[in-house]
Amino acid sequence: MITLYIFIFLPFIFALLVPFLYKHLNRRAHTGWFVLLVPLSIFIYLVRYIPDVASGATFEYTLSWIPTFGINITSYIDGLGLLFGLLITGVGSLVIIYSIFYMSKVREALHNFYIYLLMFMGAMLGLVFSDHLLVLYGFWELTSVSSFLLIAYWYERKGSRQGALKAMMITVFGGFGMLAGFIMLIMMGDTYSIREIIANIDVIQGHALFIPALLCILLGAFTKSAQFPFGIWLPDAMEAPTPVSSYLHSATMVKAGIYLVARMTPVFGGSPVWFWLVAGIGLITLLYGSLTALRQTDLKALLAYSTISQLGLIMSLLGIGSLAVYFGPGESGTVFTVATFAALFHLFNHSTFKGSLFMVVGIIDHETGRRDIRYLGGLMQVMPITFTIALVGGLSMAGLPPFNGFLSKEMFFAAVNDVSQAGIFGLSKIGMLFPIIAWVASIFTFVYCMIFIFKTFGGVYRPEKLTRKVHEAPLGMLISPIILGLLVVFIFFFPNVLGKYILTPALTSILPMMPFTPYDVKISAWHGLNLELLMTFGVIAIGFILFKTAKRWIHIVRSYPQGLMLNHWYNQGVSGTERLSASLTNRYMTGSLRHYLIYIFSFFVLLLLGSLLLFHGIQFDFSNNAAISIYDIGLVIAMIIASLTVLLASNRILAIVALGALGYMVSMFFVIFRAPDLALTQMVVETVTTVLFLLCFYHLPKLKKSIDRIPFKLTNLIISVAMGLTVTLLALAANGHKLFEPITAFFENAYELAGAKNIVNAILVDFRGFDTMLEISVLTIAGLGVYILVHQRSKRREQRETE
């Protein structure tokens, strides 16, 4: 158990060590190799679980965290978590190898890059292995924070800052919605455990909060996985260094939403709302991303929208596969279970070919200084290895053999054809839209893949358009994309190795009610001349024609009005909100302290006095009050006189002395009420504050000897009287409405509980020790601030006198 937690928190531990290593090692050569040990060791550790998980075993480890509230760090390793864990660490290892060479000439603080990367890696591992909903949410938001830091790594660039802020705002907004969904899920299931919630789905599905929880959780998943219309943050996030894009936006962060939908499928999968939202939004995202990718001339932007499109494909497959929960075990359920298997298969495939393509773009940018297709061309002549990797990854993304993308794309076509004939949830009427949209989007996918490959590497080589002398990338930058490219080909020829040991256990984790064995789903490149193959032929034929005639129609797509783009609406909304907030802020932020006090006191009076009147709270009970003595009356009169003296004094020293006298009279009340400790404390505080007041007035420049007479203002009088009346009525009402037993009896046992003979000291030191410590810290900081200001002023005065 301890070993697992060590590996989960290993990235955070190493993140603390990186600054020291960066300082003492060769900064650029060795830090990355040291960081590489983290994902590589975790990957090797997780590989040990593959045989056991493939045979149906699961592993649960619990580490006590906040036992009082039932919050423990419960890690659960099953097929789904293991699949994501291997992707996070496996692709992470390759990304770090790539980063060592790609970032070798970066002038910025390189250790920050590795710290943020390790933070993100640890957050993703914690997310996919968490069984506790609140712990999962904590790691979920940590991925947003760490990705913000990674995207904004080049913070001097305006685009990096804006892209990071947009990603953070959208994903954190979705995270808050997801948290609300989790809380409702916890209320319905009366447990924090995801597995226990799945075990009690019969109770949950009939609850009134079922649909609201479903909607809130999907909000979090859709924002994180860049589903329509929330995907606008992903293209802007391409301002990050290319290794970040390759890791976050192809293999890990954007897959977090996919993971959440897959994990929650057993809970919500049988619902028509879940099906239509997940499958429908996924298809819309697929079409939107593929069409928008055609508009791009920047290679990273093209890959960003292609990522959005591919994520939509995976999401739609999960939605279609959720029908297996509705049908249950049987022939129909088995058909739609294959859709979930296809989603997992394409998720893995996408990580391989898209990771390699992002690295290819990084190589092109690194070697040519360009990412704009309009300036590129003919690079296969000078970069043959990079071209080969791009060809493998691009054709796989296009869904052509002999590459792994072809296999999962064929399964996708089979799934949309099956769902069009399901006959439930209204599919009998509009079910044909599923294969039509999927087919059209696949044509656009084929076209932008051809543009990526042949507009960049084909055609005429134009070195005069480039900013650097082009040559093949160094071996270090080629290692990682070559490994990913080899995986793309290997999986095509040996897909069932992956299916048996990785994908089928993950499928069983998502759909535990389906009695699958490792041999139930067979992946094959040839299923005969069926509808799916005919759709593929159509994609290739029409896609090839559109690619060859792109010059005649591509300008139509690229001339789509910017005013109708989602990104434009977002920017206009943000700008409008900023203008509105600035206008409102300028109205009440006048720079006048009096105005601010009026706002604060007026709100206080309206809220509290209004509540007392509305809820009939002005009821007093004086029956248990002690008798008022002559000493009480005398002290009250003296306090009133001291207060009026503070207001009406014409000399500052007199006002300070009167204010101190007011505090000393309060301490006299403590003496009468038999609280000598409080009286002593009050006297010390008053003495110190009075001395500090006098010191401040002594050192402040250009003090007037007299206080200017403040003109009478009726508004001030009304607010002051209302404020005093409100506080008085509130205190009397609280004293007359004791809804609960007082806690004084608990503190009377101070000697037994804390070994203290003085109750007040026990409260301050033991029962509220942290509160007291923080108050002392605040006073210490304030005192140091005053000392520094006085010292600096005296020092400057001495310097002027010396000069």
pLDDT digits (tens, 9 = 90+) for 253-297: 889 999 999 999 999 988 999 999 999 999 999 999 999 999 888
Main-chain dihedrals φ then ψ at residue 130, nearest 5 degrees: -85, 135
Question: Is residue 616 predicted with pLDDT exceeding 70?
Answer: yes
**pLDDT band with cut points at 50, 70 and 90 for residue 744:** confident
Per residue in 571-590, pLDDT (tens digit) is 888 888 888 988 888 888 88
Q: Identify the burial level of 727 via C-beta atoms within 10 angstroms of its C-beta, where 0-12 means exposed, 13-18 middle and 19 or more buried.
A: middle
Report the pLDDT averaged over residues 480-485.
Answer: 94
Q: State which of 228, 256, 284 marks the end of a domain.
A: 256
Angle at 427 between CA 425 and CA 432, to 5 degrees: 160
Does residue 575 sit in the same domain as residue 643? no
Out of 545, 571, 589, pick the residue that ends a domain. 589
Stretch among 54-68, 143-157, 409-423, 446-460 having the lowest mean pLDDT? 54-68
- Given this model, what pLDDT does residue 592 score? 83
Within this chain, do residues 314 and 418 fall inside the same structural domain, yes or no? yes
Residue 139 has pLDDT above 90, yes or no: yes
Band (pLDDT 50/70/90 cuts) for residue 506 is: very high
Q: Per-residue DSSP letters for 645-709? A: HHHH-SBHHHHHHHHHHHHHHHHHHHHHTT-HHHHHHHHHHHHHHHHHHHHHHHHSSS--SBPPP
Which whole number is the average pLDDT over 385-390? 94
Q: Of 53, 103, 48, 51, which Cα lies nearest the Cα of 76?
A: 53
**Between 723 and 468, where is the model more confident?**
723
pLDDT at 519: 43
CA–CA dist 352, 666 (Å, integer): 74
What pLDDT, on the 0 to 100 scale, is given for residue 200?
84
Helix (H) or strand (E) holding 226: none
Percent of the chain with pLDDT over 90: 38
Residue 184 domain flag: no
Q: Please tell me the predicted confidence (pLDDT) of residue 675.
A: 76
Q: pLDDT at position 116, please? A: 92
CB 415 within 8 A of CB 279: no
Q: Give per-residue pLDDT as tens, 12-22.
A: 999 998 888 87
The verdict on 294 and 419 lying in the same domain is: yes
In this predicted structure, the answer to whether residue 513 has a pLDDT above a threshold of 60 is yes
Q: How far is the C-alpha of 82 from the C-alpha of 45, rounded, in Å?
A: 11
pLDDT at 466: 80
- Do residue 584 and residue 599 come from a single domain? no
Most confident listed range (388-392, 713-717, 732-736, 777-781): 388-392
Would 192 be classed as within a structural domain? no
* Confidence tier at 27 by pLDDT (50, 70, 90): low
Q: pLDDT tens digit string along 486-500?
A: 999 999 999 999 988
pLDDT above 60: residue 657 = yes
For residues 405 and 414, what is the distance between their CA atoms, to the nearest angstrom? 14
Going by pLDDT thresholds of 50, 70 and 90, the confidence category of residue 518 is: very low
| Bridge pairing between strands 59-66 and 71-77 | antiparallel
Q: Are residues 299 and 412 in the same domain?
A: yes
Please indicate, yes or no, whether residues 439 and 464 belong to a single structural domain of this protein.
Answer: yes
In this predicted model, which residue has the larger pLDDT, 582 or 733?
582
Give the mean model confidence (pLDDT) for residues 774-778. Answer: 87
The region of weakest confidence among 34-48, 120-134, 269-283, 570-584 is: 570-584
**Residue 233 located in a structural domain:** no
434-438: average pLDDT:
94
Query: Cα(763)–Cα(753) distance, rounded to whole angstroms?
Result: 11
User: Average pLDDT, whole number, for the chain?
Assistant: 86
Does a structural domain hold residue 193? no
Whether residue 204 is predicted with pLDDT greater than 60 in this model: the reply is yes
Q: Give 300-334 pLDDT, tens digit per residue.
A: 999 999 999 999 999 999 999 999 888 877 667 77
Q: How many domains does the chain have?
A: 5
Distances (CA, A) of 549 to 145, 372, 388, 456: 44, 20, 25, 17
475 and 575 fall within a common domain:
no
Give yes or no for residue 345 having a pLDDT over 90: yes
Mark which of 685, 717, 739 sits at the end of a domain.
Answer: 739
- Split at pLDDT 50, 70, 90, the class of 783 is confident
**Which pLDDT does position 703 carry in this prediction?**
47
Residue 640 pLDDT > 50? yes
- Looking at the structure, do residues 292 and 405 belong to the same domain, yes or no? yes
Q: Specify whether 169 is located in the same domain as 38.
A: yes
395 with 322, same domain: the answer is yes
Higher pLDDT, 470 or 757: 470
pLDDT in the model for residue 107: 64
Asked if the structure places residue 195 within a domain, the reply is no
Distance in angstroms (rounded) separating the CA atoms of residues 627 and 672: 12
Task: Give residue 731's domain range.
Answer: 593-739
Residue 343 pLDDT: 95
With respect to residue 185, please indicate whether it lies within any of the assigned structural domains.
Answer: no
pLDDT over 70, % of the chain: 93
Residues 92 and 159 in one domain: yes
Q: How far is CA 557 from the centre of its chain?
A: 33
CA-to-CA separations, 241 to 36, 99, 250, 358, in angstroms, rounded? 18, 9, 14, 10
Domain membership flag for residue 226 = no
Alpha carbons 686 and 657: distance in angstroms, whole number: 10
| Inside any domain, residue 654 | yes
In the chain, the amino acid numbered 250 is S
Mean pLDDT of 506-520: 69
- pLDDT at residue 356 in the model: 93
574 in the same domain as 514: no
Q: Is the pTM of this model over 0.85?
A: no
- Quote the CA–CA distance of 654 and 332 in Å, as a whole number: 90
